[in-house]
Structure 1
């Protein structure tokens, strides 16, 4: 069942902390090719794949007029919607 959970549901159930989410967003913004990010409790998410899979985030990141804050929010949204693996 853990494979079916999103980062958002794990955050809501306090398995993943807001600080971990913020660290994941920061890691992606520092290196958009970033791959595996390890959250607590052994959850792993390929950040680059998660953001690439979320079309609105891809568009925002490609938009030269988008602010840094908006881009950060869109990356966070993509990560929240993503489904990590356990391991």
Structure 2
């Protein structure tokens, strides 16, 4: 199984699309599939839950927005897809 990072390396999605997915999730964190690129959906909430550091960053109130953004981006990039 490939990761989102693998797909980004293969140019199946762009950094801008990953950034948009991060910002969209931070604006409205919820579970369920989200389209992050044409033909590519991901449950970002599940990806965050699967990444210990990202889950912790989202749970704690004292974490800055910048750190949350990095944590969610990391969780997305590590997520495995189809």
**TM-score exceeds 0.5:** yes
Unaligned stretches of 5+ residues in structure 1: none
Aligned pair partner of 1:27 in 21, 24, 28: 24
Aligned residues: 82
TM-score normalized by the length of structure 1: 0.84
TM-score normalized by the length of structure 2: 0.89
Distance 2:41 2:77 in 1: 13
**Which residue of 1 is the match for residue 63 of structure 2?**
66
User: Structure 1 residue 16 and structure 2 residue 13: aligned?
Assistant: yes
CA RMSD in angstroms, aligned pairs only: 1.3
Unaligned stretches of 5+ residues in structure 2: none
Paired residues of 1:28 and 1:34 also in contact (CA < 8 A): no
Stretches (4+) displaced over 4 A: none
Paired residues of 1:27 and 1:34 also in contact (CA < 8 A): no
